[in-house]
Structure 1
């Protein structure tokens, strides 16, 4: 089936299978930042933004993207780093980097909705994303740094 949607600001028309996950579809068309961590919606590594909301793409079917506006990490900062990416790099909020794209997408969605979140808001905004390396301290600091810049 053919779907039409906007991906990282560009109109797209793509063929998808009815039972294809959005995660697999996005990776198939080149969005390699969308990672499969658990495949069960628990880790957040596959987080994308759909119509302004963070979504785990492993639990969404590709046909559901029809008519939507999708943002992946590839769509952040095309000419220069997005403030979220900049803050993660400056604070050193990455270690292995596997969770980073999902963390950045959840951060972006949070700051689009609430540009000046409290620490509690940040923790709630990131609760669907797991990181096995950092202990979250630097990630929370990076979100604080990005707040107001997005």
Structure 2
């Protein structure tokens, strides 16, 4: 079934508050995790037009690339490496205003300038991370963290 996303304008808060109910609608009744991750990345990319939006899934001892929107990406990331690996290892959101200043940053693309990574925690264990990159410096803040957390809380990981 085709879905249409109503892209809203206005403040960042207004955009998220319009988008979240639409994401809920996309996820409702769909049990397939990969399909849901794909729709979330598509909705985020369409609404915000960020440089890169995607998920990395924890598989054994590394993060493995999952559904994403944007240019090709790093396929595997070790725990503790780069922004994604740090978020996984520390089980916390990492907001990086300037990726050039982040020790050990993994440059999948030289066009990425700032980044936010949120861990997805289920049963006290990180099972994935949501990674968002912007081509602009200092693009992400606590507002993004708050609303992106609400979005990943909608996802069901078994």
Q: Is the structural similarity TM-score above 0.5? A: no
TM-score, with structure 1 as normaliser:
0.31
Larger relative CO (CA 8 A, sep 6+): 1 or 2?
A: 1
TM-score, with structure 2 as normaliser:
0.30
Higher strand share: 2
